[in-house]
Amino acid sequence: MLINKTDKNTVYTFKTVTGEEIISRVSESDATTYTLLKPLVMIVTPQGGFGLAPAVYSIGPSDTIVLNKRAVVLSGKTESDIATQYLSKTTGLTLATA
């Protein structure tokens, strides 16, 4: 099920038809697109863990991108530990964990 109502403070994960997992906040959503704020993708690190990298290297880190809903296979709220890492990386703040 695609996300129909979005909250700018919630971090979402989008799995695309090509297999990427895009992690982002959503500033707008309409019938055909999501406008993503500071989108990052999950990457595997040499140590076997994961990290976050820019979804598009040639667009400024504070710019938004538009994701066509037809390119999304699944979507949902991002798991809390990953969302915390996303927020830390995009805001520069270290967030306290509960």
Query: Is 4 inside a domain boundary?
Result: no
Query: Is 43 inside a domain boundary?
Result: yes
Contacts of 80 by beta carbon, 8 Å cutoff, 6+ apart: none
Backbone angles phi, psi at 91, to 5 degrees: -105, -20
Of the two residues 68 and 62, the one the predictor is more confident about is 68
Query: Is 2 inside a domain boundary?
Result: no
Query: Is 19 inside a domain boundary?
Result: yes
pLDDT of residue 23: 96
Our count of domains for the chain comes to: 1
Residue 29 has pLDDT above 70, yes or no: yes
Range of the domain at 36: 11-91
We report the CATH number of the domain holding residue 34 as 2.30.30.100
Model confidence, pTM: 0.84
The DSSP secondary-structure symbol of 32 reads S
Query: Is 98 inside a domain boundary?
Result: no
pLDDT of residue 2: 52
